[in-house]
Amino acid sequence: MLEIKNLHARVGDKPILKGINLSIGTGEIHAIMGPNGSGKSTLSSVLAGHDDYEVTDGEVIYQGENLLEMEPEERARAGVFLSFQYPVEVPGVKNIYLLKSALNAKRAHQGQEEINPVEFLKLVREKLKLMKMDEAFLHRNINEGFSGGEKKRNEILQMQLLEPSLCLLDETDSGLDVDALRIVGEGINYLRAEQRSFVMVTHYQRLLDHVRPDFVHVLADGQIKASGDFSLAQRLEKEGYEGLLAEA
């Protein structure tokens, strides 16, 4: 699904990613954990194509294509979805408009016709129910005045609708209370499928208790310092990043 080779990236003059190597197989769930400032969020932003970050070396191959040469919208249409750590508020644009435009952009890319309004509403209602969101959300401006938990649920709602191949979840657990965390976790689990891969960037283990990863990587100082299975996350929770990284 995704091959990251020797990826280097910087913001301005400051190098953040210093040689990331990572292979994500189809259907796999990877967790990327690390202390603050380790480069976790940078990695997901670079993969999504945010132009604040400049890639200085390395390559990323997504489904056989050079991901780094694609525009953000091309990546999205090809099935790369980023659930933002801080979902952006867009006053003046209704949620339903975003959902429909995004879905139709993807369908156009796949050579399909625009979805008909009745079918669209049926689909959206189904997803809203899953995320325990009220239909009123559709007619509110994108993320405007949403609580932290509502914003994150709205991200997963979009993910549900777009059914991406590669889901990048950037600190999706941050700012969630226990109930919201459970709903978001269920939302992610619902999407787990053989042909779909996940990269979950997180500081804590708590989301991983809901969505069990196949692989766990520890990112520090722009490099992956340790990789393992779920037990690595459990060790991290006990020993902390300092203990584990000292050993590595």
Which residues would be at the binding site for other proteins (CB under 8 A)?
48-51, 71-73, 75-77, 81-82, 84, 87-93, 97-98, 101-102, 105-106, 109, 141-142, 158, 162
E strand segments, the chain: 2-11, 14-24, 29-33, 54-62, 65-66, 80-83, 90-94, 141-142, 166-170, 197-202, 215-220, 223-228
CB of 44 to other proteins, least distance (A): 11
Task: Name which of 72 and 243 has its Cβ closer to other proteins.
Answer: 72
Task: Name which of 50 and 203 has its Cβ closer to other proteins.
Answer: 50
Kindly tell me the burial class for residue 29, based on how many C-beta atoms sit within 10 Å of its own C-beta (0-12, 13-18, 19 or more).
buried
The span from the CA of 160 to the CA of 164, in Å, is 8
Task: Name which of 7 and 76 has its Cβ closer to other proteins.
Answer: 76
Phi, psi of 154 (to 5 degrees): -65, -35
CB of 219 to other proteins, least distance (A): 22
Task: Name which of 50 and 210 has its Cβ closer to other proteins.
Answer: 50
Contacts of 39 (CB under 8 A, 6+ apart): 16, 17, 18, 20, 219, 221, 222
Closest Cα to residue 1, out of 170, 199, 185? 199
Task: Name which of 18 and 94 has its Cβ closer to other proteins.
Answer: 94
CB of 14 to other proteins, least distance (A): 19
Tokens representing 188? 């992610």
The span from the CA of 235 to the CA of 217, in Å, is 12
Angstrom distances, CA of residue 161 to CA of 107, 189, 229: 12, 14, 30
CB of 96 to other proteins, least distance (A): 13
Task: Name which of 68 and 226 has its Cβ closer to other proteins.
Answer: 68
CB of 206 to other proteins, least distance (A): 25
DSSP string across 165-198: SEEEEESTTTT--HHHHHHHHHHHHHH--TT-EE
CB of 31 to other proteins, least distance (A): 21
Task: Name which of 55 and 93 has its Cβ closer to other proteins.
Answer: 93
CB of 93 to other proteins, least distance (A): 5
